[in-house]
Each structure stands twice: as C-alpha cells, then as structure tokens.
Amino acid sequence: MRITFLSQPRDPIAAGPGRRGSVAIVLWALASRLARHHEVLVLAPRRPGEPIEEKTPEGVRIVREPPPFSSLHRLLEAADGLVSGSLPHMARPRYFAGYPRRLAGPLEAFRPDLVHVMTLAQLLPGLARGVPGRPLVLHLHDELLLRLEREAASARLAAASAVVTVSDWLAERLAARFPDQAHKIHPIGNGVDLAAFAPAGHERPAERGARLLFVGRISPEKGVHVLLEAFARLAPRRPGLVLELVGEPGLMPRAFLELLERTPALETALAFYGQGPLDRLRRGLAGGRGYLETALGRLPNALRPRVLLPGPLPHDALAERYRAADLLVAPSVCNEPFCLPVAEALASGLPCVTSRCGALPDLIGATGPDGLGEAGIAVPPGDADAVARAIEYLLDDPERRRTMGRAARRRAEALLGWERATDRLEAVYRAVLAAPDPAG
C-alpha cells in the first residue's frame, strides 16, 4: 500500500526524538511501523529551519509545506471565547481550509492508495476534491464532532471512507450520535512504546519522600488547579511529599470548552478564563502561564518550593520521570477520549489516580462504582478532596501500590502495544480498499 498521513497544520513532525504533542506521537508511532511493509509519506507543516523533505531511518518520507495564513489562524484561535457561545475557530470550515490545496502537488506526485487525516474533519471535502477517488481515513482523537450541530458534523464524516478512534469510549459515542455512519467507525485504540516506557529494575527506597507526577499540557481542562488544591491538603502533614508538573502551560480556547457538557467540574476550569470580554482578553493574553501562576498563587508560600516545574520535555526524556514517581495523577475535569500520559505510566508500572470520566477509568481498569481499579483509582472530576483521599490511600499502602504497579504493566502489555493498534489500522485500510467504489 501507498499511504499518506496528513498531520494537523499546527502539528510539526520531527524526524528525531523531539515530538511532544500527543497527536504527533500517535501519527509517528503508526507511520513508522507501517513503513516496514508499505510506502508511507507524511505531509506536515514546515517550521523555520526544517528541511522541505527528508527520508527517516524508519523508511518514512516527510514532506513539509507551510500552511497558508498560519499567523491569522493563530490570532483567530487566540480570540476564541471573548464572546460566549461562539463556535471555536478550530471547529469552523475555514480553519486552515487552504491547506489541502497547498498539499495537492506532493499528493499528486505520490499517488497514494489512501490518505489518513489526523483530527481535522473539515479538511476532508477539500482533500476529496484534490485526490478524487482516493479513500480518506479520518483519525479522531477528541469529541469535537459530538459537540457540533449534528447535520454539519455528519456531513464532515460522510466524506470519510472510514473513521478510526483512539478508544472504544469515543467510538461508541460517535456511533450512537451518527447511527447511519456507525458501520465505518472503528476503535483502533492508542498505544505506548513498551520498551521505552518500562518499570524501574529496582525498588525505590522506602525512606524517601513521596513524589506525585503530572504529565501533559498545564491547562484548566486538565485539572491542574484541582491537583494543586489536593496537594495543599496533603503536603502540610507529609513533609517529604513533592509534586512535579511536566508540561507546557497552555490554554485551550474557551469556546471549545463551552461546547462540552457543562458540569460543576468544567465550571472550575472556565472560571480561569475570566468574566466579560475585557477580563477574558487579559487572561487570554496571559495564556497558560497566567493560569499556572494563578493556580500556584492559591498555595501557601511554604509549599511553593515543593512543586517542581521542569517545563515541557522531549518525549524520549519522560521515561525516567515516570520511573522516579510514586503515583501519576490525571485529574481532568472533562472527558478524555484517551490519555497518553496514563498509558505511559501504566507501561512504566506506575499506579494512577484519575478522574472518573471519559476513557480514563477503562485505562486503569476502574469500571466499578467505587472507582477502585486494577492499576489505580478513579475519582469524581473536580473533587480535590477525593483526589487527596485517593493519593493518601495509596501512599499509605506501599504493598497495594506495588500490586497495582505490576497490574499496570500487565494491562499495558495486553492492551497498549503499538503493534496491536497498527494491526487494527492496517485491517481497516484493507477493508476500505477492498470495498466497492460507490462512484463506480
């Protein structure tokens, strides 16, 4: 097969180990494995200084084109949410609408058997015109299409020959929302590099202070403010407890969050965006750094040095962070269709405390009403007291942590190997190419 992957126009793809965004990590994991048996071309946005084209040791060819009007699109994204009820720019049909035209040349030269599009369903109609007769496979990582007006979202899905998702949770909800298109929705799942992310080969010293870890974008919907509130409850009576926040501060556009189900937990995130257009503009200009400073400002001064902020790290540098931690905490206040840091923690033999929403309970095997799972505990989203209780429960029981850690690794090996996701995706490709041409 000749397969083209189309990266998000805001998501550069590096040939080396510097990939950070979760969608880029997934794209590369799949493309590099498929390249063992197929011809694979990755089309990606070009950053200053990057080569236009390169061939990687894995056999993947990368061609880069600068997306048109990138600065304008970033400005429009930054303005999202100044007026309540507006549709986020990233969900609008005009979002990077000119990008498929920019890629027409490389696509025509490569003549792929199919095109695999990451996330942006609104690009499909333009691509269908640019590569007529070529099947389009849409890869969904979030629930945005579940939140748009049904007719418009359904029209976007109709342009895809198949839709693959990062989890059963997302596939089930898409099929329920769009029953007429359920036949082409396939959960291939996500994966993790089981060799790179593996348990430490030795037990950590029992006398050292406990270490909590958060990995991901430091932003309101990820619930970092909830975690800091839980830490403030625990730290005074646990002098050795430290919290490490690994990631880059960032703000998801408020307009995107307003599309989601309005819950008390989500309201705690929306509060950080301010009240009224001027306050929202001021906070939007401060961005994720302003959110982090506000959340940290609620901690007593004596606790601030015990919150470690290494910033964003290259993906291949994260493994030691997981191995050095006692617990991963993923306190999202909105549904997570998947959570790559939780998957990496499981592979590293690290128990997790997560929110009880989206696919998070499934990941750690916490499907019962009490939230206690094989590899961690799932608690109600936005509940700092519940997060603190779950953390303390596990910190006070080292043997349970060890048992959960072993179970975490077993779950990762059984459910989260990239080969499993790649095999499922390849089966979808073959089914699509074997299907009769509806135009013929």
State residue 323's pLDDT score: 95
The number of beta carbons lying within 10 Å of the beta carbon of residue 193 is: 18
Q: Which two tokens stand for residue 353?
A: 């405390």
State residue 78's pLDDT score: 67
State residue 169's pLDDT score: 96
Whose CA is closest to 244, among 334, 312, 301? 312
**Rounded Cα gap, residues 369 and 17, in angstroms:** 40
207: confidence class by pLDDT, cuts 50, 70, 90: very low
pLDDT in tens, 242-287: 999 999 998 887 878 888 878 899 999 988 887 776 767 677 766 7
Single pTM value for the model: 0.91
Mean pLDDT in residue range 220-230: 96
Kindly compute the dihedral angle of the four CA atoms of residues 362, 364, 370, 372, in this order, to the nearest 10 degrees.
160
State residue 164's pLDDT score: 98
Of residues 48 and 204, which shows the higher confidence score?
48
Length of the chain as a residue count: 440
- pLDDT of 25 higher than 50: yes
State the chain's mean pLDDT as an integer.
Answer: 90
Please give the share of the chain, as a percent, with pLDDT higher than 90: 65
Mean pLDDT in residue range 65-87: 74
Of residues 16 and 288, which shows the higher confidence score?
288
State residue 90's pLDDT score: 79
439: confidence class by pLDDT, cuts 50, 70, 90: very low
Evaluate whether 286 touches 270 at the Cβ level (below 8 Å).
Answer: no
Domains by residue range for the chain, with CATH:
2-191+417-434 (3.40.50.2000), 211-415 (3.40.50.2000)
pLDDT in tens, 144-173: 899 889 998 999 999 999 999 999 999 999
State residue 85's pLDDT score: 60
CA angle in degrees (0–180, nearest 5) for 233-236-240: 115
pLDDT in tens, 362-418: 999 998 888 999 999 999 999 999 999 999 999 999 999 999 999 999 999 999 999
Of residues 132 and 201, which shows the higher confidence score?
132
How many CA atoms within 13 Å lie on the side-chain side of 85? 0
Mean pLDDT in residue range 44-54: 89
- pLDDT of 440 higher than 60: no
Contacts of 380 (CB under 8 A, 6+ apart): 265, 355, 356, 386
**Run of H or E including 424:** helix 418-434
User: Which of 82-91, 123-132, 341-350 reaches the highest mean pLDDT?
Assistant: 341-350
Phi, psi dihedrals of residue 319, rounded to the nearest 5°: -55, -40
